[in-house]
Amino acid sequence: MLLFMLACSGNAVPTLTGSVPKFYGPAPKNVLWVSMDTIRLSEMGRYGGSEPLTPFLDSLMRDGLALDHHVSCSNWTFPSVACAAQGQWMVDMDWVPRIDSYRLPAPDVPSLASELSAAGYATILLTSNSWLSGEWNTDYGFDYSERPDSTYTEDIFAYGEEKISDAQKNGAENWFLHIHIKEAHAAYKPPEEYLAGLDALPSISYNLESSDEHYDAADDWETLSAEQQDVLLQHLWLRYRGELRFMDDQLREAFEDFDRKGLLDDTLVVFWSDHGEQFYEHGYQTHAYVLYREENEAVGFFWSKNMRPLAWNGPTGHPDLAPTTLAILGKPIPESFTGLPVGTAPDDRIMPLMAVARVGPINAMYQNNLKMMYSWGAGRKYLYDLDADPAELTDIYDPTDPNVIALWDELTPILERMDPLVEYYSPANVGP
């Protein structure tokens, strides 16, 4: 068993801080952010997964502060990492990232990295995804940013150890390391040992280890027979679940190595996923299509050796991660941050989501058990009761419903603010 799993037993000092999360003794000073690409929340053991795909991550969530009602602000990497790093919902950025050729780099606004760099931290970004880079200004505030040659999780963590060591040799007392890993992203191609059962499946005409053919298969879905669809889904799920197992095993090994070298002794670890993954539940496969739960529910949790376990059931989103991190460290939170430290948001908060991706601009708004979605192009409107209909299959939108009218009162000024920022699109049929 990992040494750090035992940190709160034995001789741990039973003194708790008053923050959320709570700690036995002082809060940690260093920060490790681990953002994970394309994690389908429902496949994790904590959230009902039928297979033990992520036992290591599940154990960390059990021993840390798990955000059990957490959403991304979008459904693809660029906007998701930007709103997490900058502590803002998309509407507050005066910038809208697009997946097409009209996309613009993220703005120079305060970020977690820039705030910690100004506080004397060595700030390091290592990423397996080019959306986190100088090209898109998502490395803003980092002293060092690189996309290592290897995309394997364990290799990126090993490189992170080297960069921390270099920073310490150069006199840094504290460090912030952000690692982004991409193991579960399409095309799904884990090592062979994680593909048990593949040979027993009926063959398909697509090479799902090729990104182009993976997306060709997704695009061809409507032309396939029901039998062909079923077989394709079996292949996709087996490969995707193999990716999750592979990622989880690598994370366990990487954390064991970090622990042996003392890099977890005084470190706050923050895990989050940029977005989810759809498997045709709402007409598409992969992500960056719509804002149903499969694509925008996200992992979010905090962990350290001396953290008191806590499950947080209040609504949280990616913009809350940076201000919560700064609050734990005792650092001031920039006025530009519109996310809130965990534990300070009202239970009835409205969380505004947006994507300008493969099917054009889409907005969504969460409040309590309700979720309203609005598609700009067709002016389509949807409302779901997440308590009664967690799979979001029954549209209960009613323009006379007071809840709908109240949500439109919140959404209308957002559309007015975002309309001039989304070139070549305009919202249609605005209002209930």
CATH number, position 382 = 3.30.1120.10
Alpha carbons 60 and 32: distance in angstroms, whole number: 14
Q: Containing domain of residue 378, as a range? A: 359-421
Mark whether 384 and 320 lie in a shared domain.
no
Q: According to the model, what pLDDT value does residue 3 have?
A: 41
**Please, which pLDDT band fits residue 17 given cuts at 50, 70 and 90?**
low
Instruction: Give the pLDDT confidence score for residue 315 in this predicted structure.
Output: 95
Regarding predicted confidence, which is higher, 144 or 149?
144
Q: Are residues 337 and 413 in the same domain?
A: no
Is the same domain home to 379 and 258? Answer: no
Model confidence pLDDT, tens digit, residues 177-226: 999 999 899 999 999 999 999 999 999 999 999 999 999 999 999 999 99
Per-residue pLDDT, 306: 96
Would you say residue 271 lies in a domain?
yes
Tens digits of residue pLDDT in 49-108: 988 999 999 999 999 999 999 999 999 999 999 999 999 998 898 899 988 878 889 999
What the block records as the tokens of 147 is 């996309």
**Average pLDDT of the residues of the chain:** 93
Q: What's the pLDDT score for residue 8?
A: 41
Is residue 217 one of the residues assigned to a domain? no
Q: Are residues 252 and 292 in the same domain?
A: yes
Confidence of residue 19 (pLDDT cuts 50, 70, 90): low
The answer to whether position 207 is within a domain reads: no
Q: What is the distance, to the nearest Å, from the Cα of residue 223 to the centroid of all Cα atoms in its chain?
A: 32
pLDDT digit string (tens) for 281-307?
A: 999 999 999 999 999 999 999 999 999
Residue 202 covered by a domain: no
Residue 267 lies in a domain: yes
Question: 313 with 383, same domain?
Answer: no
Strands 70-71 and 316-317: parallel
Q: Does any domain span residue 273? A: yes
For residue 125, pLDDT beyond 90 = yes
Say whether pLDDT at 10 is over 90: no
In a domain, 44, yes or no: yes
What is residue 386's predicted lDDT score, i.e. its pLDDT?
96
The Cα angle at residue 187 between residues 297 and 34, in degrees rounded to 5: 45
Q: What is the pLDDT of residue 424?
A: 83
Q: What is the pLDDT of residues 323-366, one digit of tens each?
A: 999 999 999 999 999 999 999 999 899 999 999 999 999 999 99
377, 238: one domain: no
Residue for token digits 């559309």?
A: 415
pLDDT tier for residue 11 given thresholds of 50, 70 and 90: very low
Domain boundary residue among 346, 379, 404?
A: 346
Give residue 417's Cα distance to chain centre: 25
Please check whether residues 312 and 369 belong to one and the same domain. Answer: no
Shared-domain flag, residues 313 and 365: no
SS3 88: coil
Q: Give dist(CA 79, CA 75) in Å, integer.
A: 8
397 and 272 together in one domain: no
Q: What is the pLDDT of residues 355-403, one digit of tens each?
A: 999 999 999 999 999 999 999 998 999 999 999 999 999 999 999 999 9
The model's pTM is 0.94
143, 270: one domain? yes
Is residue 90 assigned to a domain?
yes
Lowest mean pLDDT among 94-103, 163-172, 238-247: 94-103
The answer on pLDDT for 252 being more than 80 is yes
Number of domains making up the chain: 2
User: 342 is written with which tokens?
Assistant: 């965990």
Per-residue exposure over 103-134, b if at least 16 CB sit within 10 Å of its own CB, e if not: eebbeebbbbbbbbbeeebbbbbbbbbebbbe
DSSP code of 246? H
